[in-house]
Amino acid sequence: MAGFLARRLGAAAIAALLSSLAVFLIMRAVPGDIVGQMLGQSGGDRAAEEALRAFFGLDRPLWSQFADWLGAVLRGDLGRSWYQGRPVGVMVWEAFLVTLELAVATLVLATLIGVPLGVVAGITQGSRLDRAIQSFNLVGLSAPVFWLGLMLLVGASAALDWSPPFAWSGPQEDLADNISILVLPVISLAVLQAAAYSQFVRGLMIEELGKDYIRAGRAKGLTPAELYFKHALSNVMIPLVTFMGLILVQILGGVVVIESLFSLPGLGRLILAGIQGRDYPVVQGALFFVVIIATTINLVVDLLYGLLDPRLKP
């Protein structure tokens, strides 16, 4: 177990280092830098450009810029935003909490809708109910999130004369506002993920129900409830947990669109604004954090396998 953990953590460290280097180089390869953004299309002259470039350390060799950044990260310092002046670590953490709340709420809602739908569709394969659920899946999987979000926003306004407050409040500031801000984005994201879940679980159930032990159980006189929920569903759990991890990573990746669509100050928008403004410390810090989170989720999923099925214990 210890050896497994050490190997995985080592691999994670290498992944973080390589991806940070890639982010560092790609950001600098993109034409334009913060100096152009600050001076605008027509302001300032060469002297102003040079002064600002020196202020941000952009006149130094690339290797020395990267070494400085990496050295600071190893000391636990992600630097400061060039625009905001605030510590990147704090900005990333605040944005992450917004994204996490959005992602967890989406995951819970998608699981609550998607898993039962998938189980029912699997059990009643070929029925009218199954076809109805499959239609939902098709629509859910093919409706673009930004379209769905916009329709929900305009629809809620037209039908209920209601719209979310557009200014963000965290759950600790004003819970009612917080929930009303999140309800539409969570539904928009959850529909897609619930459809994906339901489709996946349906396939698993059908496969599981065709297996010999189910036939044997049926012959033994087990009730359908016991067959489906005690035996079939517990075998479906392992791939489902893998899938949940994938979905969580996918939600974290997909929130960029929904955060922009609903003005949520999450990680996706932080990174997007950082890229547009060429705020290198923010982009590097935030993506470094994302890599760590994604690796951690994968690690936790691997460890969970062991808990759910002792045969897979590392």
Partner 1 sequence: MTEFTLPRRTALQLALGSLALPGIAEAQQAQIDPLLYGPTPENARRGGRITVGSLVEPPALDPFRQAADARIRVSPLMYQGLFFEDQSGVPRPLLAESATAAPDGKSWTFRLRRGVKFHTGQPMTSADVKYSYDFMRNAANGSPGAGDLSSVTSIDAPDDFTVVFNLSRPNAALPMTLTNKYGAVVPRGFLDDANSGTRMNEISVGTGPFKLKQFRPNSTLVFERNPDYWQPGLPYLDEITFVTMPNSAAMAVGLQSRRIDLAMFSRPQDTQALANAQGVEVRRWPSLNQKTVDLDCKYNNLGDVRVRQAIALAIDKKTVMDASISGYGTVIGTIVAGMQDAWGVPLDQLANQRVDLDRAKALLAAAGHPNGFDIDLTTIIGYDWMDAAAVTIAEQLRRINIRVNIRKLELGVWIRNFRAREMGFTFNDWGTTPDPSLLYYRHFRAAPEGADFRNWNHARASALLDRGQETADPAARRAIYAEFQKILAEEVPTIMMFSSDVLTANRTRLKNYVQHGTGWYFGLVKAWVEG
Work out which of 1, 2, 41, 75 binds partner 1, going by CB under 8 A.
41
Answer yes or no whether residue 2 interacts with partner 1 by CB under 8 A.
Answer: no
Nearer CB in complex with partner 1: 201/283: 283
What is the C-alpha separation between 242 and 314, in angstroms, rounded? 16
Work out which of 85, 126, 221, 310 binds partner 1, going by CB under 8 A.
85
Answer yes or no whether residue 265 interacts with partner 1 by CB under 8 A.
Answer: yes
Answer yes or no whether residue 83 interacts with partner 1 by CB under 8 A.
Answer: yes
Answer yes or no whether residue 63 interacts with partner 1 by CB under 8 A.
Answer: no
Going residue by residue from 89 to 108, which x/- string records binding to partner 1, judged by CB under 8 A? --x---x-------------
Nearer CB in complex with partner 1: 63/166: 166
Backbone dihedral angles phi then psi of residue 87, each to the nearest 5 degrees: -60, 130
Answer yes or no whether residue 38 interacts with partner 1 by CB under 8 A.
Answer: yes
Answer yes or no whether residue 256 interacts with partner 1 by CB under 8 A.
Answer: no
Tokens 């129900």 correspond to: 209
Task: List the interface residues with partner 1, window 132-161 (CB under 8 A).
Answer: 150, 153-154, 157, 161
Helix (H, G, I), strand (E, B) or coil at 84: coil
Answer yes or no whether residue 43 interacts with partner 1 by CB under 8 A.
Answer: yes
Secondary structure (H, E, C), 189-232: HHHHHHHHHHHHHHHHHHHHHCCHHHHHHHHHCCCHHHHHHHHH
What is the C-alpha separation between 193 and 256, in angstroms, rounded? 15
What's 80's DSSP letter?
A: B
Q: How far is the CB of 159 from partner 1 (least distance, A)?
A: 12
β partners of residue 174 = none
Q: How many CB atoms lie within 10 A of CB 33?
A: 18
Q: Tell me the chain's radius of gyration from C-alpha atoms.
A: 24
Answer yes or no whether residue 37 interacts with partner 1 by CB under 8 A.
Answer: yes
Answer yes or no whether residue 173 interacts with partner 1 by CB under 8 A.
Answer: no
Nearer CB in complex with partner 1: 17/150: 150
Answer yes or no whether residue 270 interacts with partner 1 by CB under 8 A.
Answer: yes
Answer yes or no whether residue 76 interacts with partner 1 by CB under 8 A.
Answer: no
What is the per-residue DSSP string for 245-309? HHHHHHHHHHHHHHHHHTT--SHHHHHHHHHHHT-HHHHHHHHHHHHHHHHHHHHHHHHHHHHH-
CA dist 65 → 20, 91, 239, 282 (Å)? 13, 21, 44, 15
Of the listed pieces 51-59, 188-196, 220-228, 296-304, which binds partner 1 according to CB under 8 A? 51-59
What is the C-alpha separation between 305 and 314, in angstroms, rounded? 9
Of the listed pieces 79-87, 187-195, 245-253, 298-306, which binds partner 1 according to CB under 8 A? 79-87
What's 86's DSSP letter?
A: S
Q: How many CB atoms lie within 10 A of CB 180?
A: 15
Number of residues that bind partner 1 (CB under 8 A): 53
Secondary structure (H, E, C), 89-114: HHHHHHHHHHHHHHHHHHHHHHHHHH
Work out which of 1, 61, 142, 162 binds partner 1, going by CB under 8 A.
162
Nearer CB in complex with partner 1: 192/264: 264
Answer yes or no whether residue 29 interacts with partner 1 by CB under 8 A.
Answer: no
Q: What does the binding site for partner 1 look like in residue numbers (CB under 8 A)?
A: 30-33, 35-45, 47-49, 51-52, 55, 80-81, 83-86, 91, 95, 150, 153-154, 157, 161-168, 260-263, 265, 269-270, 273, 276-279
